């Protein structure tokens, strides 16, 4: 049945207007007004914004990590994402050295197929480069539609790859049309600093931050930018946290390097002092790179305002405080790294960004949806409101005031890092491919409605601006 969303204030990254949206099946078939309402379901969006569905380019659902597995899987994680206004996630498929890439991809299909409530794709981790990997990469793009490769520069002896691997991955990505993503911290020096801290009896959560200083994020970011320049390739730096890293990205962009930067809500609203909370509560805020000193929060907001950072990922990687985070009681290096962010990404950016006058409505949509769609081969199918695009839409009430809490969130974990935070605005209904997933703040979607999305190559996904042209 046709649906018409009427009287809403439609907001895209470039336009804001009063208008109606006509939906047939999974697609938007009309934007404007005066649509024939016969045999149509009318949805009144009066007083609401109609946003494109959020796209979260950075999730770790049901991820084996730190001797345990992240608590939200493709069912609970995508339900929580939908409640929070996100209609597409791109999850990191972790590969194992010596194993075929396809083995990992199949494992990720097995853990997601038939479980998701919203659409999803995969990034592929590259831990080594050898003839086997090189032979597989073309079909990873052409058959699996995976157009982004992740290289970890940290987590020594776990995920970390060496610089030669990063450089070869960049060169292959340029040939194949893939975007390389990095976790940019100097993993070797971090390893040294963590071992030294433990020897000195420094075991509390705060030492997670003190052994991963911003200088080591800035150094790795700068190194990755230079390797990208040498390889004439393209780079996306995930979870940027500090001035040291932003300046390296901005300098490279000014040199014309095709480099993009992502930050996450936790780095915009929480600071390093949270890691000093009593009774091991600081463990709730242990993720990498770590929370930074307060001055970085304003610096990151300025980078979003001036275009030096272009996207917002959640870095969803949730662990219970009791039973998982407490694996690191007495030894901070055993605290599983990550937090439950997927549900609050969209609302925190609206509330702390738009409602507090830091960013415009258009910048907000670009940050939480459109830019990620363009960089990761989803645009214009997703990431905007266009005729022919998927009817992935968020009906958002900007007047609602609420308090974030684990007692009301939908993530499958026993705490929320933003507990008690007052936010303005809330998604009230969310559609994925023309079907309600959330309606009047109730889950009405179906398990398995979300399907795997094959993504276009980098730069083939329409209008991907080169770094030097668009801030």
Ligand X SMILES: NC(=O)NCCC(=O)O
For ligand X, the binding residues (CB under 6 A) are 60, 183, 287-288, 315, 317, 337-338
Closest distance between Zn ion and the C-beta of residue 314, in Å?
9
* C-alpha dist (Å) from residue 262 to 25, 136, 143, 246, 357: 33, 28, 27, 10, 20
- In 3D space, the residue among 118, 138, 159 whose CA is nearest the CA of residue 337 turns out to be 159
Q: Considering only 7-15, 116-124, 315-323, 437-445, which stretch makes contact with Zn ion by CB under 5 A? A: 315-323
User: In sequence order, what are the residues at sequence separation of 6 or more whose Cβ sits closer than 8 angstroms to the Cβ of residue 283?
Assistant: 205, 321, 325, 326, 328, 329, 332, 335
* Structure tokens given for 146: 């995976």
Of 3 and 183, nearer to ligand X (C-beta) is 183
Task: Closer to ligand X by CB, 183 or 459: give it.
Answer: 183
Q: Which partner from the list Zn ion, ligand X, none does 166 bind, CB cut-off 5 to 8 Å by kind?
A: none
Instruction: Tell me how far apart the alpha carbons of residues 249 and 236 are, in angstroms, rounded to a whole number.
Output: 10
Least Å distance, CB 340 to Zn ion, is 13
Of 315, 343, 392, 435, the one binding Zn ion (CB under 5 A) is 315
Binding partner selected for residue 464 from ligand X, Zn ion, none, CB under the kind-specific 5 to 8 Å limit: none
Q: Shortest distance, CB of residue 58 to Zn ion, whole angstroms? A: 5
The set of residues, in sequence order, having a beta carbon less than 8 Å from that of 37 and lying 6+ positions away, is: 4
Which residue lies nearer to Zn ion by CB, 67 or 330?
67
Least Å from the CB of residue 155 to ligand X:
7
Among Zn ion, ligand X, none, what does residue 287 contact (CB within 5–8 Å per kind)? ligand X
Residue 9 binds which entry of ligand X, Zn ion, none, CB below 5-8 Å type-dependent: none
Judged by beta carbon, residue 290 or residue 434, the one nearer ligand X is 290
Q: Are the beta carbons of 309 and 246 closer than 8 angstroms?
A: yes
How many CB atoms lie under 10 A from the CB of residue 103? Answer: 10
Minimal distance, residue 126 CB to ligand X, in Å: 15
For residue 237, give the nearest of 204, 219, 270, 263 by alpha carbon: 263
**Nearest-10 Cα torsion for 142, 148, 152, 153:** 110
Closest separation between CB of residue 316 and ligand X, Å?
Answer: 8
Residue range at the interface with Zn ion (CB under 5 A); choices 1-9, 301-309, 310-318, 356-364: 310-318
Least separation, in Å, of the C-beta of 191 and ligand X? 15
DSSP state of 117: S
**56 vs 426, which CB is nearer to Zn ion?**
56
Residue 250, H or E segment = helix 243-254
Residue 130, C-beta contacts closer than 8 angstroms, at least 6 positions apart: none
The answer to whether 182 touches 151, Cβ cutoff 8 Å, is yes
The interface partner of residue 336, options being ligand X, Zn ion, none and the CB cut-off 5 to 8 Å by kind, is: none
Query: Rounded to the nearest whole angstrom, what is the least distance from the CB of residue 230 to Zn ion in the complex?
Result: 23
- Token code pair at residue 272: 């390093």
Q: Of ligand X, Zn ion, none, which one sits near residue 337, judging by CB under 5 to 8 A according to partner kind?
A: ligand X
Of residues 123 and 381, the one with the C-beta less far from ligand X = 123
Q: Report strand pairing: 16-24 vs 2-11.
A: antiparallel
Interface residues for Zn ion in 168-187 (CB under 5 A)?
A: 183
Beta strands in 209-252 (DSSP E): 234-237
> Is the CB of 2 or the CB of 183 nearer to Zn ion?
183
Taking the least distance from each CB to ligand X, the nearer of 20 and 217 is: 217
What are the residues binding Zn ion (CB under 5 A)? Answer: 183, 315
């Amino acid at each position: 049945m046709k649906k018409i969303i009427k009287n809403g204030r439609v907001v895209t990254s470039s336009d804001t207007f009063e208008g109606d949206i006509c939906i047939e099946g999974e697609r938007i078939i009309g934007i404007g007004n005066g649509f024939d309402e016969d045999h149509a379901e009318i949805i009144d969006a009066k007083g609401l914004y109609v946003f494109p569905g959020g796209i979260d380019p950075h999730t770790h659902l049901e991820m084996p990590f730190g001797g345990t597995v992240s608590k939200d899987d493709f069912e609970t994680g995508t339900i929580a994402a939908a409640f929070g206004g996100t209609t597409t996630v791109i999850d990191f498929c972790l590969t194992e050295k010596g194993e075929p890439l396809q083995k990992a991809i199949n494992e990720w299909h097995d853990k997601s197929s038939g479980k998701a409530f919203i659409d999803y794709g995969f990034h592929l981790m590259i831990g080594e480069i050898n003839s086997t990997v090189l032979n597989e990469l073309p079909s990873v793009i052409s058959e699996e539609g995976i157009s982004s490769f992740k290289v970890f520069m940290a987590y020594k002896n776990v995920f970390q790859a060496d610089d030669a691997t990063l450089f070869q991955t960049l060169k292959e990505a340029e040939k194949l049309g893939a975007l390389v993503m990095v976790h940019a911290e100097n993993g070797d020096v971090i390893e040294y600093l963590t071992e030294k801290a433990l020897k000195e009896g420094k075991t509390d959560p705060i030492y997670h931050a003190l052994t991963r200083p911003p200088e080591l994020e800035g150094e790795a970011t700068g190194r990755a930018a230079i390797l990208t320049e040498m390889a004439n390739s393209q780079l996306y730096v995930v979870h940027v946290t500090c001035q040291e890293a932003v300046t390296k990205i901005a300098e490279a962009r000014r040199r014309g390097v095709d480099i993009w930067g992502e930050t996450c809500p936790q780095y915009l609203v929480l600071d390093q002092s949270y890691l000093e909370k009593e009774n091991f509560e600081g463990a709730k805020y242990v993720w990498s790179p770590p929370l930074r000193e307060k001055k970085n929060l304003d610096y990151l907001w300025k980078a979003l305002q001036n275009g030096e950072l272009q996207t917002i990922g959640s870095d969803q990687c949730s662990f219970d405080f009791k039973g998982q985070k407490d694996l690191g009681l007495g030894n901070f290096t055993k605290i599983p790294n990550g937090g439950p962010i997927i549900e609050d990404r969209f609302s925190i950016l609206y509330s702390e960004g738009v409602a507090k006058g830091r960013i415009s409505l258009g910048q907000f949509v670009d940050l939480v949806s459109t830019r990620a769609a363009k960089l990761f081969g989803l645009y214009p199918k997703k990431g905007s409101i266009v005729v022919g695009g998927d009817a992935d839409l968020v009906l958002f009430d900007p007047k609602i005031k609420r308090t974030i809490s684990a007692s009301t969130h939908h993530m499958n974990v026993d705490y929320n890092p933003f507990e008690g935070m007052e936010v303005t605005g809330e998604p009230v209904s969310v559609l994925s491919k023309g079907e309600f997933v959330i309606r009047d703040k109730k889950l009405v979607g179906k398990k398995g409605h979300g399907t795997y999305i094959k993504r276009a190559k980098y730069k083939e996904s329409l209008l991907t601006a080169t770094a030097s042209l668009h801030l």
